[in-house]
Amino acid sequence: MLLDAVIIILRETLEAGVLVSLLLTIAHRFHLGARWLLFALATGLVGAGVYAASLATVSTWFDDVGQEVINAAMQYGIYLSLLAISLLISLVATAKRRYLGGFLMLTVVLAVVREGAEITVFFTGYLQNEDVLSRALTGGFVGLMLGLSAGALCYYVIVSLSPTMERRIQHVMLALMAAGMVGQATQLLIQADWLPSTMPLWDTGGWLSERSVAGEIAYAIFGYEATPTPVEVGFYSVALALIPLSVLLCRHFGFNARQEV
Amino acid sequence: MKSIRLYLIIVLLSTICLVNFLAALQGYRRSMVEASQLLDEQLAEDARLVSRLAAAGGNLPRDMYSDSMVFQVWQSNRLLHRSNNAPETSLSPMASGYHMQSYRGLRWRLLVYEDDDPQFRVIVGQRADVYARLVENIIVESLLPIIWVLPILGLVIWLIVSFGLSPLKRLAVLLRQRRAEDLTPLDVSGYPVELAIVVSSTNQLLSRLAAAFDREKRFAADAAHELRTPLAALKVNLRNLTDDIGADNDSVRELEASVDRMGHSIEQILTLYRLTPETLHRQKTAVDLQGLAKKVIIELYRNFQGRHQDIELQSEPVVIEADEFALMTLMRNLVDNAGKYTPPGGRVLVVVKPEGQNALVRVEDSGPGIAEAHHSRVFDRFYRVGGDRHDSNVIGCGLGLSIVDHIVRLHQGQIDLGRSAALGGLAVAVRLPLPEDPGHQKGHGTKKSAVSRTEDSHPAHGNTEAKIANENFSSENIPSKKGPGTNRRGKKERGGDRPTKTGVGKPSYRHDKRRASL
């Protein structure tokens, strides 16, 4: 129970923590402050509460796979938002900074709604059992602190880099995390039988277990999956390649009013 | 990184959390493995005991074990003995070894024990969750102190970081409280090694700065002597030359203009070097800006008269803490500039009044003004609009506004250029902070009330100007060099006479509203 709680909460908060810290470094680079984050977190938490309360209804949608489909839709939404952020920080002039703030907020809101709803559902399942609940809460707290600590350290590591290195790390992490979102969403659609389920292409579970801390970190950063199917690998690869390709195409077609700040 | 303190607290707490909780997780995993081995050993012991009891042919008590344990004794496919909580069917496959099975909705760890007789098998089992819970409880008990201590740890880190940063804070306070003119070295003692380097470097910088200021002061003093004396001699010789060959000679006139220009430039440069922060702090006194404005206008009045210009002062009493010489220079430069760059017959308006937390000095003219493109540059030293092709035909060296800007900065004020709404020319607005002690203004406030009453007796003037003393200067109200007795303004006031402006080129006295006599 304790380990389950740690793993589940760590999985959610580590991913959200690393994502938010990455977005904060972008906001820091473009002098956007942190007020947007407070607003996004508040909106996301309210959204998570509403979504968790409605999950019973949502689950019945689309032939009882509503939760998987809606979660997948949110993941794809995060991917598109991260794609927009990649384009904005690569190409447009500082005059368009307000759009960047909007996409940063949208990403955080979607991430918090999805992760927050799952955490809420996990804990409400143990509300009646006090003994289990206390262990689940302890485990959850440990997972939460691990995720937040990793996020905080990630933020300070990135902002302490040289500007050039900081930009490179941001671009690479944005692309990897965005592709990871697509990988997770695809997995959900496979679970919902919206996409075909086939034999895994490989199994790296023996080398890096998904349930280990290292596996969780890999999952949070680039959506590590020990036994991916060909469909997942295909979607992941396309999503990963699309981000640098979009940046290159936009530059090629003249949207290159880049103005570093 | 916005704050070193915040950075250290967050990074240290995050690192402690990561290390502690990862260590706890590792401990948890190891404990679970140990517990599993312990459970297996316990099961083996129990199985041997049950096997021996059954082999001895004795009756095994069916309820001797708690609900968390089950056993069955099988011979071939016949159940010989079982605990009360065990089913009559086999709990697990008959293969020897450990198995995990679900029974009654719970997970059980089972051992199929085979003694010497292969037909004789003992199955013993224990609930797996009991051991897991036991281990988890131990881990939770060890984790809780770490969790509870986190806020205390945060507080302790905050205190330690604050203590560690205190020398830096002390140094910052010391530097912030230093007067601008204080260039003495900082005391190096009491600082840790890391900061001692910074303090030592700062001292070197201060020392170089002090030497540079000394050089500058010596230059100003030397230049004052070395330039003014020959210039005075030059002027005397020029006067003699004029007497000898006549004033109508073009070369002499040009020579006179050049000498005047040189004299003006030297005085402006010397003024600039005299206005240093250290002298300013020493010489700060309560300065009456209204009185100062009048003095400057009187001083420069002959220039305005010579150009047939009309100068007007709208003022309220306002007193600030400042260097009187510096403010006199500021006011003189502004008023003189306005006169010089306004065509003959034009108008100049000087406004002095309190405005919020500031004292406002605004000088407006009806001249051509300065294009907005030049606003940012006119404060540069030796910059003149149009450069060498400046077509105003007035003596200038491009230092006037630079000096004004310098004085405004020294007094933590603000200067703005714009277009005069009333006269159409340049408007220069200087705002200087009023002293925090309102007592400076009290005496003048009484005067202001008295004036307001006087103003009430002039219904011709609207409320807009009700608080402002409006004075238009003429030769009649300017004291002559012979003495103040020639000033006849008071006489005119008493008579209720209200002279009007008789036209450009003939400045007249207009006592629209007046509080103080010149």
CATH superfamily of B277-513: Histidine kinase-like ATPase, C-terminal domain (3.30.565.10)
Sign of the alpha-carbon dihedral angle for B274, B275, B277, B280: positive
Query: Which residues on neighbouring strands pair with residue B312, listed in sequence order?
Result: B349, B472
Where is pLDDT greater, at B396 or B415? B415
Instruction: State whether residue A148 sits within 8 Å of chain B by CB.
Output: yes
Where is pLDDT greater, at A23 or B465? A23
Interface test with A, best of B25, B28, B137 (most A CBs within 10 A): B25
Name which of B465, B94, B488, B127 is nearest B314 in CA terms.
B465
Taking contacts as CB-CB distances below 8 angstroms, the residues of chain A near B25 are 3, 6, 142, 213
Q: What is the 3-state secondary structure (H, E, C) of B467-509?
A: CCEEEECCCCCCCECCEHHHCCHHHHHHCCCCCCCCCCCCCCC
In chain A, the percentage of residues whose pLDDT exceeds 90 is: 44
Domain B4-145 -> CATH class: alpha beta
Average pLDDT over chain B reads 76
- pLDDT of residue B510 exceeding 60: no
Interface test with B, best of A4, A137, A138 (most B CBs within 10 A): A138
Question: Coil, helix or strand for B166?
Answer: helix
Burial A194-233 (b: 16+ CB within 10 A, else e): ebeeeebeeebeeeeebeebebbbbbbbbbbbbebbebbb
Instruction: State whether residue B486 sits within 8 Å of chain A by CB.
Output: no
pLDDT interval class at B499 (50, 70, 90): very low
Where is pLDDT greater, at B260 or A47? A47
C-alpha span between A85 and A112 (Å, rounded) = 18
Taking contacts as CB-CB distances below 8 angstroms, the residues of chain B near A141 are 147
Question: Coil, helix or strand for B235?
Answer: helix
Q: In this structure, what token pair is assigned to residue B507?
A: 């400045």
- End-to-end CA distance of chain A, in Å? 48
At A26 the pLDDT is: 92
Taking contacts as CB-CB distances below 8 angstroms, the residues of chain B near A138 are 140, 143-144, 147
- pLDDT of residue B263 exceeding 50: yes
Distance from CA of A142 to the nearest CA of B (A): 6
pLDDT in tens, B351-377: 999 988 899 999 999 988 888 777 777
At A75 the pLDDT is: 92
At B467 the pLDDT is: 41
Taking contacts as CB-CB distances below 8 angstroms, the residues of chain A near B10 are 152, 156
Cα–Cα distance list, A238 to A178, A196, B143 (Å): 11, 17, 44
For A188-234, the DSSP string reads HHHHTTSS-----S---TTTS-TTSHHHHHHHHHH---SS--HHHHH
Nearest to B14 among A6, A152, A213 (CB): A152
Where is pLDDT greater, at B400 or A111? A111
Distance from the Cα of residue B306 to its chain's centroid = 48
Using CA atoms in the order B272, B275, B278, B283, what is the torsion angle rounded to 10 degrees?
A: 170
| B496 Rama class: left (phi>0) / alpha (psi -120 to 50) / beta | left
Segment B39-60 shows an average pLDDT of 82
- pLDDT of residue B509 exceeding 60: no
- pLDDT of residue B343 exceeding 80: yes
Instruction: State whether residue B6 sits within 8 Å of chain A by CB.
Output: no
At B459 the pLDDT is: 34
Domain ranges of chain B: 4-145, 181-274, 277-513
What stretches of chain A show up as alpha helix (H) in DSSP? 2-29, 35-53, 55-59, 61-64, 66-91, 97-124, 130-159, 163-191, 213-222, 230-252
- pLDDT of residue A56 exceeding 90: no
C-alpha span between B54 and B120 (Å, rounded) = 10
pLDDT in tens, A154-206: 999 999 899 889 989 999 999 999 999 999 999 999 989 899 888 888 899 88
pLDDT interval class at B394 (50, 70, 90): low
Distance from the Cα of residue B297 to its chain's centroid = 38
The residue type of B295 is: K
Query: Could B14 and A149 be called an inter-chain contact, meaning their C-beta atoms sit closer than 8 Å?
Result: yes
Backbone angles phi, psi at B358, to 5 degrees: -125, 165
C-alpha span between A151 and A143 (Å, rounded) = 12
Interface test with A, best of B17, B26, B138, B150 (most A CBs within 10 A): B17
Taking contacts as CB-CB distances below 8 angstroms, the residues of chain B near A8 are none
Domains, chain A: 2-252 (1.20.1250)
Taking contacts as CB-CB distances below 8 angstroms, the residues of chain B near A2 are 28, 136, 139-140
Distance from CA of A135 to the nearest CA of B (A): 7
Sign of the alpha-carbon dihedral angle for A38, A39, A44, A45: positive
Query: Could A153 and B17 be called an inter-chain contact, meaning their C-beta atoms sit closer than 8 Å?
Result: no
- pLDDT of residue A227 exceeding 60: yes
Could you tell me how many helices (H) and strands (E) chain B has, helices first?
Answer: 10, 14
Using CA atoms in the order B144, B147, B153, B158, what is the torsion angle rounded to 10 degrees?
A: -160
Instruction: State whether residue B213 sits within 8 Å of chain A by CB.
Output: no
Nearest to B1 among A1, A3, A159 (CB): A159
**How do strand B426-433 and strand B414-419 relate by DSSP bridges?**
antiparallel
Identify the closest residue of chain A to B139 by CA–CA distance.
Answer: A2
Query: Could B14 and A134 be called an inter-chain contact, meaning their C-beta atoms sit closer than 8 Å?
Result: no
Query: Could B18 and A149 be called an inter-chain contact, meaning their C-beta atoms sit closer than 8 Å?
Result: yes
pLDDT interval class at A1 (50, 70, 90): low
Instruction: State whether residue A156 sits within 8 Å of chain B by CB.
Output: yes
pLDDT in tens, B467-482: 445 666 655 555 544 4
Instruction: State whether residue A2 sits within 8 Å of chain B by CB.
Output: yes
Taking contacts as CB-CB distances below 8 angstroms, the residues of chain A near B107 are none
Segment B229-253 shows an average pLDDT of 84
Backbone angles phi, psi at A257, to 5 degrees: -80, 55
Query: Could A2 and B139 be called an inter-chain contact, meaning their C-beta atoms sit closer than 8 Å?
Result: yes
Instruction: State whether residue B3 sits within 8 Å of chain A by CB.
Output: no
